[in-house]
Amino acid sequence: MAPTKNPLKLNKLQLKTLAILQELAGDPGITRRDEASGGVHITAIPAPHGDHFHVGARVVLSRDATGLANEGVWLALVRKGLASAGAFPHTIALTPAGLGYDTGVADSILHQAGH
């Protein structure tokens, strides 16, 4: 039997938020790796720049990133073991499970930057 897509039954907003956090986790300028847990602490969430914001070399439309400012979404990611509590809305840590979770939405919300 094939593995279940979205086995933790994240909703669309949670999936989008996790995909953005996974991309942010790859930016060494705003992260630090926790060698003991294997997770990544994201120490800064980018601010919107008009109708979008930059995530490393990619761009996300602000409408796809509303979960970054939604404490309930962050708490759901923590409850499902994909993140550990941070200082909402400034810092969050993705667990190894969160770093590796296949959201299935990254390609549709993370776009190549035009500037």
CATH numbers and ranges of domains, the chain: 12-112 (1.10.10.10)
75 sits in which H/E element:
helix 71-79
Q: pLDDT digits over 37-65, tens only?
A: 999 999 999 888 889 988 888 999 999 99
| Res. 2: pLDDT tops 60 | no
Q: What pLDDT sits at residue 19?
A: 97
Return phi, psi of residue 67, to 5°.
-65, -20
Confidence band, pLDDT 50/70/90 cuts, at residue 115: low
Measured between alpha carbons, how far is 58 from 114 in angstroms, rounded to an integer? 9
Alpha carbon 23 to its chain centroid, in Å, reads 6
Split at pLDDT 50, 70, 90, the class of 82 is: very high
Residue 3: is its pLDDT beyond 70?
A: no
Q: What is the pTM of this model?
A: 0.93
Q: What is the pLDDT of residue 49?
A: 81
- Sign of the torsion angle spanned by Cα atoms 102, 81, 44, 13: positive
